Amino acid sequence: MVGMQELARRLRAARNLEDFIKQTLDGGVDFIDLRFVDLPGRWHHVTIPTTRLTPRLFTKGTGFDGSSVPGFAAVESGDMVLIPVRDTATAEEYNGHHVVAMVATAALADTREPFALDPRVIAARAEKALSDSGHADVSLWSPELEFNVFSRVSHGESPGGAYYEVCSREAGLLDDDSTEPELGHHIRPRSGYHAVPPADEHFELRNEIAARMEAAGIPVKYHHHENGAAGQVEIEVEGEPLVVAADHLMWGKYIVRNTAVERGLAATFMPKPLADEPGNGMHFHIKLARGGTPVFHGEDGYAGLSEQALFFIGGVLTHGRALAAITNPSTNSYRRLRPGYEAPTNLFFSAANRSAAIRIPKYATEPETKTIEYRPSDASGNPYLSMAALLAAGLDGMQRRIDPRENGFGPFDRNVHDLPSSERDKIVPLPVTLEEALIELARDSAFLSESGIFPEEFAPVWMGLKRRESEEIGGRPHPMEYGLYFDC
């Protein structure tokens, strides 16, 4: 029996389906785990014994109830099937059982046609739309995974109360019952950027996460402690094609959470888990290429950008307020998008200005490294949908030749808060609530479906899901309101 890492390598190198099945059976695998993503962006899975691993599984799939999955089919038409994608296979040991896991796409039970609202199907259409456009034939996406690691988390809510409490020894946030030794190596608030041990207590955890990500075929670029004191860290991965990058984001988040749990820790990608500390973003570094030639590089353009790159930026910023409903689709997202916490609040572009919605990294000087970084997005967004929507907006900008310099989107190479109010007031802000973002999406969603990337029914289904979340939060009193208004 080979080790799980070696088995994963062999599965990815399998010559064909027959070889893949042989490698799986010879590897002593107990179960096949099929994982799929719902519309909001959470993984689900169904597990089958290896005895059911036949070629038929890859054509006919295995059935599931789509009506129980958020954003999928209605109850009266809930029968669907999951069809595994062989190229996504990896291997892991779980409680002594050897498991081969694969990402699966949802299809209609009768015709086996891909389900139009499956996020992975939407992402694949985005890649096809890019190729059909003639502007480029591949997009490469390098996401930054920012998250917090806490030593203990408890939370709950009921009609009569709500609470949350987190503990972090790094930040000196310990409860009265803690048995952890107090060693005094605390990180001061907003001072954790690139901290080293012993203050950085999660160095070994990140090493283990990075090793497991690499073993799963996810190319890690680097990892480090982020600015937040309470276990805020970052792992960045190398650029990959859109669907692969989204697959790997889902795998990466799964590895992060489960590796933390094994060590008695809790990891969260929540955009703003703590007050008065920086939140967690999910920045996307984006590159386009055509026939192997970089599309975004321009020798004499601003920050080394091509005309096509500027048009792409123009499209993203033009649709930026509507995009927020997809890339920042939680009420908690807008706790993060506030001035003073290293998160963008305005829609403009700039070279190296980290308050910009789109930053042009100055270190990317070679044609093949020329990239743009979209900074507002966070991990509460479904990565397949976030990247597909950003690509749809960028393609719209390229098709319509939207020049951001002629539409008030910059570039601004200085702190925009230092601009005269007459200039600052002209800058388009990002929405400040989820409800505001949903209003913008209702007004500006045509670019999603006109590109052929998103089905017509996506926007109303998505807005319905997210409005229910917003209304659920909005109808509950906040604990701080008791301090402000109890004696009114």
Judge contact between 382 and 37, C-beta under 8 A.
yes
For residue 122 the two structure tokens come to: 């939407």
Is there a catalytic annotation at residue 165? no
Domain that holds residue 446: 138-485
Q: Is residue 132 part of a domain?
A: no
What digits encode the pLDDT tens for the residues 105-132?
999 999 999 999 999 999 999 999 999 9
Q: Is residue 131 part of a domain?
A: no
**Same structural domain, 396 and 269:** yes
Is there a catalytic annotation at residue 113? no
The model carries a pTM of 0.95
Residue 236 has pLDDT above 60, yes or no: yes
- Residue of 33, 226, 240, 247 marked active site: 226
The rounded distance, in Å, linking the Cα atoms of 373 and 205 is 27
- Residue of 45, 188, 338, 354 marked active site: 354
Q: Is residue 185 part of a domain?
A: yes
Is there a catalytic annotation at residue 373? yes
**Same structural domain, 354 and 279:** yes
The rounded distance, in Å, linking the Cα atoms of 333 and 398 is 28
Residue 1 has pLDDT above 60, yes or no: no
**Same structural domain, 284 and 327:** yes
**Same structural domain, 226 and 176:** yes
Judge contact between 166 and 175, C-beta under 8 A.
no
Amino acid at 357: A
Q: Is residue 126 part of a domain?
A: no
Predicted pLDDT of residue 177 = 62
Is there a catalytic annotation at residue 375? yes
Residue 332 has pLDDT above 50, yes or no: yes
Predicted pLDDT of residue 365 = 82
Distances (CA, A) of 255 to 9, 119, 215, 267: 17, 21, 11, 10
Mean pLDDT, rounded, of the chain: 92
Is there a catalytic annotation at residue 283? yes
Residue range 445-467: mean pLDDT, rounded: 95
Torsion of CA 207, 209, 214, 216, to 10 degrees: 160
Number of domains, the chain: 2
**Same structural domain, 305 and 187:** yes
**Same structural domain, 110 and 142:** no
- Residue of 65, 423, 450, 456 marked active site: 65
Q: Is residue 237 part of a domain?
A: yes
pLDDT more than 90, % of the chain? 74
The rounded distance, in Å, linking the Cα atoms of 318 and 315 is 5
**Same structural domain, 156 and 44:** no
Residues near 148 by Cβ (< 8 Å), separated by ≥ 6?
166, 168, 228, 230, 231, 232, 233, 267, 268, 270, 273, 274, 280
- Residue of 33, 118, 201, 234 marked active site: 234
**Same structural domain, 81 and 206:** no
Q: Is residue 280 part of a domain?
A: yes
**Alpha helix locations (H) across 202-290?**
203-215, 242-262
- Residue of 248, 283, 319, 359 marked active site: 283
Residue 75 pLDDT grade (very low, low, confident, very high; cuts 50, 70, 90): very low
Residue 320 pLDDT grade (very low, low, confident, very high; cuts 50, 70, 90): very high
Residue 375 pLDDT grade (very low, low, confident, very high; cuts 50, 70, 90): very high
Q: Is residue 217 part of a domain?
A: yes
Three-state DSSP at 136 gives coil
Which of 115, 149, 166 terminates a domain? The answer is: 115
Is there a catalytic annotation at residue 146? yes
Is there a catalytic annotation at residue 18? no
In CATH, what number is assigned to the domain containing residue 147? 3.30.590.10
In CATH, what number is assigned to the domain containing residue 35? 3.10.20.70
Q: Is residue 128 part of a domain?
A: no
**Same structural domain, 358 and 214:** yes
**Same structural domain, 340 and 464:** yes
Residue 189: asked if its preceding bond is cis (omega within 30°), the reply is no
**Same structural domain, 321 and 280:** yes
